[in-house]
Amino acid sequence: MSDEHKVKVENLTKYFGDLHVLDDVSFDIRKGEFLCVVGPTGCGKTTFLNLLTRIYMPTKGELYIDGEPADPKKHNLSVVFQEPSAMPWLTVEQNLRFGMEIKKLPKDEINRRVENMIKLLGLEDFRDRYPHQLSVSTAQRIIIGRAFAMQPDLLLMDEPYGQMDIKLRFYLEDEVIRLWKEMGTTVVFITHNIEEAVYLAERVLILTNKPATIREEVKVDLPRPRKVSDPEFIKIRNHITEQIKWW
């Protein structure tokens, strides 16, 4: 893992009219880091994410990738949304190819990455299926594979496992960790679920209530695979819970 900063967020501030949503947020993300962002319900996490993807532009502040202002035309920013977002008219394989074809990558390279992803995800039997022929969890795995296959400068994940049962969550979380290790991608993962954040992250950013700013950064230096019943794990989970508990 290098110490090189891949992403730099400086004084990010956002107003919608009079509504102050994000207040002067600054932080760095190392190349290949897995960062989780947690905060109380309604604190502005989605606005935060939309600023990182450039769907919204900030009122003040800037986002840099490799030292340059982030530009979706130049940089690869991938997003995995909470809702399943596989293209329903494309097969699994075509869904995996889609982004790379838009970016006009050479055909050989696309083939190589698609085959690699199909192998990594164990989707050999599903490559010619359409999303509606798959379970929700398999459809979500394709989306995640599609995002990793882009080898993005920054991969943003917005609570992709929100409504899944724990068993399935753990399974998919392990898969994300496996892909992340294999591909060395820089990931920002947003979640409401503190246990999930501690399970996944190298570092957790805790946001405050609106207008959101960074309350604290917590390093999670636990060996993987992590155990949710490990006392050290519980200590960190407890600490983060106390920082955001409103219920």
Partner 1 sequence: MDKKKQVILSLRNISQSYVIQNEVKPAVEDVSLDVYDNEFLVVLGPGHCGKTVLMNIIAGIEKPIEGKIFLKGEEILGSDPRIGMVFQSLNLMPWRTVMENVEFGLELAGMGKKKRRAIAQKYIDLVKLSGFENSYPHELSGGMKQRVGIARAYTNNPEILIMDEPFGALDAQTRYAMEEEVLRIWKEEKRTVIFVTNNIEEAVFLADRVILLSNFPAKVKQVYDLSPLVRPRDLMDPEFLRFRTEISDNTDLAL
Residues that bind partner 1 (CB under 8 A): 40-41, 135-138, 159, 162-168, 171, 191-194, 228-229, 234, 237-238, 244, 246-247
In whole angstroms, give the CA distance from residue 163 to residue 160.
8
For residue 168, the number of C-alpha atoms closer than 13 Å in the C-beta half-sphere is 12
Query: Is 109 or 165 the residue whose CB approaches partner 1 more closely?
Result: 165
Q: How far is the CB of 167 from partner 1 (least distance, A)?
A: 5
Q: How far is the CB of 195 from partner 1 (least distance, A)?
A: 8
User: CB of residue 3 vs partner 1: minimum separation in angstroms?
Assistant: 33
For the beta carbon of residue 109, count every other beta carbon within 10 angstroms: 11
DSSP class of 207: E
Question: Residue 156: beta bridge partners?
Answer: 79, 188
Cis peptide leading into residue 225 (ω within 30°): yes
The residue among 65 and 139 lying less far from partner 1, judged by its C-beta, is 139
Neighbours of 2 (CB within 10 A): 10
DSSP code per residue over 123-188: -GGGTT--GGGS-HHHHHHHHHHHHHHT--SEEEEE-TTTTS-HHHHHHHHHHHHHHHHHHT--EE
- Shortest reach from residue 70's CB to partner 1, in Å: 28
| 73 or 167: CB nearest partner 1 | 167
Q: Rounded to the nearest whole angstrom, what is the least distance from the CB of residue 198 to partner 1 in the complex?
A: 11
Smaller CB separation from partner 1, 89 or 247: 247
Q: Which is nearer to partner 1, 91 or 140 (CB)?
A: 140
- Counting every residue written for the chain, the total comes to 247
- Measured from the CB atom, the residue of 58 and 160 that comes closer to partner 1 is 160
Written as six digits, the tokens of 76 are 């690869």
Least distance CB 92 / partner 1 (angstroms): 15
